[in-house]
Amino acid sequence: MKQNLRLFSHNLRNFFNFNPLIYNLPYKKNAPVSDFFYFRQDNSFSTLFYLSNISSHIFPEIKQSDFVRVFLYSNIGKRIKELEFNLEPFETIKLNFKDFGINEEYGSFCIFHHLEKKELLSQKNTHIAERGYTGFSKDLNFWNFVHGNHNSLYLDNKKILKSLMPKSLFKKTYYPQLTFNQSDYFEIVVNNPSYKKILYELYLKDENNNIINKIDETLESFCTTFIPIKNNNKKIKFIEIKSNFYFSRPLIFKYYGEYFDVLHG
């Protein structure tokens, strides 16, 4: 009861923007947590993810299996695939999205770990969060990796996804911590790991912080979009992002001729 009251208090603080937290906390004690990762198969892109037995990293002295559930969503928010893996102690496997038989060009996915000895987490009063590295390659020439972005979702006992992304009554502003005037083309990736519609507002600005253009994107539940932005004259230097999510940090692809970089702003 005390834990539920504490969690309710935290979530209420976030909603009204009173001393907010970056993420909500799971109502289910020791629930597995995941980012809402991005995958893409458009324009000769490939995606992979290295999946490891997390228990071997946090309890290396105890040999236990790690049962893993993976849920894949299309860009329009439809669950298109469910995968299950049982990882032996210290085992790591490579998930190549080309092997999954999905036709969607891009979307998002989440990964949940279930330890064989769950009582170990109860003793530590903690949970496991998957925020590992996703790899992207264009024409399979080389791979760029980016770490997980958010504590986006948790999985309850009934295999129902619950959002951990705090929302506010007021629009919150996020400024990517990089400049864009070195690149003549880049993409901003945002998704919606929640059950309510979310509106993103992107403001493209010059070196003097003047607005060049404004882009609005409305995302339904579990939807994903990437926003292509041409910057041929390299006038766009800064970006401002507004939404009702408290922490609207995007995934960014920056292109330099035939090369690209992928990062969180």
Compute the mean pLDDT over every residue in the chain, rounded to the nearest whole number.
Answer: 89
Q: What local confidence, expressed as pLDDT, does residue 14 receive?
A: 61
Here the tokens at position 115 are: 């330890």
Model pTM score: 0.90
Beta-carbon contacts of 63 under 8 Å, excluding residues fewer than 6 positions away, are 56, 89
Question: What pLDDT is stored for residue 168 in this prediction?
Answer: 79
pLDDT band (50, 70, 90) for residue 198:
very high
Identify the pLDDT of residue 157. Answer: 83
In the prediction, which pLDDT does 18 show?
61
167-264: CATH number: 2.60.290
Q: Where are the domains of the chain?
A: 2-163, 167-264
Q: For the domain made up of 2-163, give the CATH fold.
A: Hypothetical Protein Tm1070; Chain: A (2.60.290)
With pLDDT > 70 as the criterion, what percentage of the chain qualifies? Answer: 90
Q: State both tokens at 250.
A: 């995007």
Task: Say yes or no: do domains 2-163 and 167-264 share a fold.
Answer: yes
Residue-wise pLDDT for 224-261, tens only, equals 999 999 998 899 999 999 998 888 999 999 999 889 99
Question: Distance between CA atoms of 46 and 67, rounded to whole angstroms?
Answer: 26
Mean pLDDT calculated for residue range 131-136 = 95
Residue 3 pLDDT? 52
The closest alpha carbon to 167, from 1, 38, 14, 29, belongs to 14
Give the pLDDT of residue 89.
95
Q: pLDDT-derived band of residue 170, with 50, 70 and 90 as boundaries? A: confident
- Is the CA virtual torsion 13, 17, 22, 26 positive or negative? positive
Q: Would you state the pLDDT for residue 23?
A: 76
Q: What is the mean pLDDT of residues 145-159?
A: 91
pLDDT of residue 117: 76
pLDDT band at 154 (very low <50, low <70, confident <90, very high): very high
The predicted structure's pLDDT at residue 140 = 87
